[in-house]
């Protein structure tokens, strides 16, 4: 099983700041990596797939990068609606696995 590790677990940031979230895989997943956003009481929402392809309708302030074992989700200027939990997921090998999540909270 591929283990996905996200860091940090919690990030306190101010609106307008630029933030980068990290995700590491225990072995190469090529570019088979997705990022999801989840707000309390809601289902996850796809942000990025193929490591760097934005989902339909996603604002351009979100971007993804990386391949192999190291990936980054960057939000260029945080908006109030961006405070949520973010998960990475690999779908290169079954079982598909998620990271434990990074919580973005308001500083």
Smallest separation (angstroms) from another protein to the CB of 67:
15
Minimum Å gap between C-beta 76 and another protein is 22
CB burial of 17-36 (b: ≥16 within 10 Å; e: otherwise) equals eebebbbbbeeebebbbbbb
Q: Which residues bind another protein (CB under 8 A)?
A: 32, 34, 36, 38, 43-46, 49-50, 55-56, 87, 89, 91, 94-101
In the complex with another protein, which residue's Cβ is closer, 83 or 91? 91
What is the closest distance, in whole angstroms, from the C-beta atom of residue 89 to another protein in the complex?
A: 7
Separation between Cα atoms, residue 44 and residue 69, nearest integer Å: 23
Q: List the one residue out of 40, 20, 44 whose CA is nearest residue 96.
A: 44
């Amino acid at each position: 099983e591929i283990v996905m590790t996200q860091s940090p677990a919690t990030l306190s940031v101010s609106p307008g700041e630029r933030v980068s979230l990290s995700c590491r895989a225990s072995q190469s997943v090529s570019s088979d990596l997705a990022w999801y956003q989840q707000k309390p009481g809601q289902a996850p929402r796809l942000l990025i797939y193929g490591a760097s392809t934005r989902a339909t309708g996603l604002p351009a302030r979100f971007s993804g990068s990386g391949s192999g074992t190291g990936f980054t989700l960057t939000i260029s200027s945080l908006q109030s609606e961006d405070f949520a939990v973010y998960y990475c997921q690999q779908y290169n090998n079954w079982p598909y696995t998620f990271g434990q999540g990074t919580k973005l909270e308001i500083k």
